A and B are shown apart, each in its own frame.
Chain A
Amino acid sequence: MSNAHMLPHYPEGTVRTLLTTDLVTEATRQALTDRLNAPLREPTFFSADDFALLDAVCNRLIPQDEQEKRIPVAEGIDERLSKNTTNGWRYDSMPNDGDAFKLGLKGINESALVIFQQPFLNLSGDQQDQILKAVQVMEAPGEVWQNLPADRFFEELLAEAVENYYSHPVAQEEIGYVGMADTPGWKRLGLNQLEDREPRMATD
């Protein structure tokens, strides 16, 4: 918390407060409140080990160490794969989503063992980043990456992690988004024209 406050930031609680007002529609309140209060979920698609690895990877992609409320990023991926739903497409060069994730996680661990002789989970944050960077630019060593396009895997994983994170009300507070508070409509549309309910950035 301490040094986060040195940087400009949006006040906390903006979205959570709006959700209790009639500035949001009932349908919107329902969707966001459900997400906010979702109970912790045990993985049902991944094994416990794979899930721990995925969780650690997601935490490097979108760090949450300093956060008071943890947003369930890896859990969202597990949930989707359990339900076997897709986002409507995949790269033809990739296997189906479930296999791609299992293989990709195996590949990440394999690269960690080749480079640091340690499983990914035992590495420091910097070392983990080094592995992930190598995957992203297709320079990660290991058997898996001979068959699975590393850059595509990384892109898909990152995009899904990001979608899970930024659709959460707490992350939306972080970036000062209050578009959900739209029942009165928006009248002040121009540059630097804010309505009362739009949060201002502060340095304090």
Chain B
Amino acid sequence: MPYKTSEIVDAVVIGTGAGGAPLLARLAQAGLKVVALEAGKQWNPAHDFPTDEKAQAKLFWNDERLSAGNDPIPFGSNNSGTGVGGSTLHYTAYTPRAQPDDLRIRTEFGVGEDWPFSFDQLEPYYDEVEQFLGVSGPSPYPWGPARKQAYALGPLPVNGAGQLMERGCKEVGIKTSPAANAALSAGYYQEGVGHRPACANRGFCQAGCNIGAKASMDVTYIPLAVHYGAEIRPECFVTQLVKSPAGILSEVVYMRNGQEERQRCRFVFLCAGTIETARLLLLNDLANSSGQVGRNVMAHPGLQIWGEFDEDIRPYKGIPGALISEDMHRPADADFVGGYLLQSIGVMPVTYVSQMARGRGLWGQDLKRAALAYNHVAGINILGDCLPYDHNYLELSDEKDIRGLPKPRIYFSNGESEERMTAHANKVMRAIWGAAGARNIWAFPRNAHVIGTCRMGNDASTAVVNANGQSFDIPNLYISDNSTFPSALSVNPALTIMALALRTADRFLEQWK
């Protein structure tokens, strides 16, 4: 339903990714007049998502960011997306839950930050999101507290990489299980959304799913929001949040087709992701009395170990993340904070070969020979907790983007804990791959998923938003995305972002409706 820009709508939601879309649906369902402003396009999966990596680079946030520090973060394909659905358009759709102790890092280890609420506050939302998305996974799931509800669907089939990881782990005494993944193992119907078909095992989740089997926001929470009357405005790039003399936000300014437009509103929900949320606040000099906007950038240690096998694997088949182990959640011999999980990885060819070029520095005939082994390669990777540090932050640089706005510069260096964790994982994964029969094992160190910059907490002097996602400085500004996590968690973030979004929406509705 299109609203007029002159009208005062109840809420403007900026960004339609994992943090924006579920919240949008909730507010619309409650009867609020809501408009979502999304910088990217509205895609038509069947027509716009060819099975081709290069053709799908359009799904990434490709405005240049400056990566500084000792371990500069690669953005673009590794990190953030754009379009109605945000980064979920090309996420791999692993959806493990955080475990209760993930939220208590400071209590447990004396460093980092605790979350301002405990696991039981998230649990009902985890249940809800998993059922709504149609997450496929094993029940019972072997790690974490007993689940109240089984996964919506049974696990997806385990591909070659998963079978090899299973074999290696069995040998070295590590427990594994089919992973929880938000791709459908059977057709699924949802009121307000419609029917979505089962995953065709086409291994292309790290780009757009052309059949809607993967639970990206554009085929789940966005249609639900529209069903309840929300308006989605794609290709609207927000540049300004206007503060009234009373100290609250009164309108949102954005660029559409090269023209400036304004939408008046009662509340603003900023859901533009870790980098753009902080950038918008810094550009507008808002919500930063704590000085914490842009601070505490975190990125999961994501070391990958690759190997070549005699077996034919064809790493393009099956969902990329088929098998998981959370046995390293709190390993007995840990010399680091928190823990990590292990995942098998399948991979598309261009991604694989370009990582190999970067990671192994191969070129010439050596590179072509190594690339020829593509059908015989499989990987495992970790995803582990990351501490917030003063030396990791985002700032506005002097360099301007095409709109004339300062490009963000992001500093990132792993600390001692992340380095020790990576060393630990390196040993564990090499042992697994050795036991599974791999040759030419090589390591690709990386950090994946940016988190932080607008931390949530109970203290206005050290946090940007409170436990409900509400700005301490501006009462009608809420943040719902990757940026508010006080700690990085030892799991992939998207499921928790969605659960938190629903909690934020419910708290907001209780307070204001």
Contact = CB atoms under 8 A, between A and B. Distances in A.
A198 B314 contact: yes
Given A27-B210, A62-B368, A129-B364, A89 B66 contact: yes
Contacts of A32: 50, 52
A175 B372 contact: yes
B427 interface: no
Interface in A128-185: 129, 132, 136, 155, 158-159, 162-163, 166-167, 172, 174-180, 182, 184-185
Contacts of B374: 175-177
B75 interface: yes
Interface residues of A, number: 56
B363 A158 contact: yes
B79 interface: yes
A189 B368 contact: no
B29 interface: no
A199 to B, nearest CB: 9
A25 B350 CA distance: 20
A190 B363 contact: no
Interface string B354-371: 100110010111011001
A159 B358 contact: yes
B187 interface: no
A167 B77 CA distance: 15
Contacts of B49: 27
A116 interface: no
Contact of B354 (A30, A96, A162, A172): A162
Given A27-B50, A88-B61, A88-B65, A62 B203 contact: no
A166 B350 contact: yes
Interface stretch (B107-115, B139-147, B159-167, B223-231): B159-167
B311 interface: yes
B283 interface: no
Contacts of B348: 179
A190 to B, nearest CB: 6
Interface in A16-70: 24-28, 30-32, 35, 60-63
Contacts of B55: 27, 31
B204 A89 contact: no
Interface in A57-104: 60-63, 85-93, 96
Interface of B: 46-55, 57, 60-68, 72-77, 79-80, 157-160, 163-164, 200-204, 210, 311-314, 316-318, 348-350, 353-354, 357-358, 361, 363-365, 367-368, 371-372, 374-375, 409
Given A25-B50, A88-B61, A179-B202, 15 more contacts: A27-B46, A86-B64, A87-B57, A88-B60, A88-B65, A89-B64, A92-B66, A136-B361, A159-B354, A162-B367, A174-B372, A180-B51, A190-B158, A193-B312, A194-B314
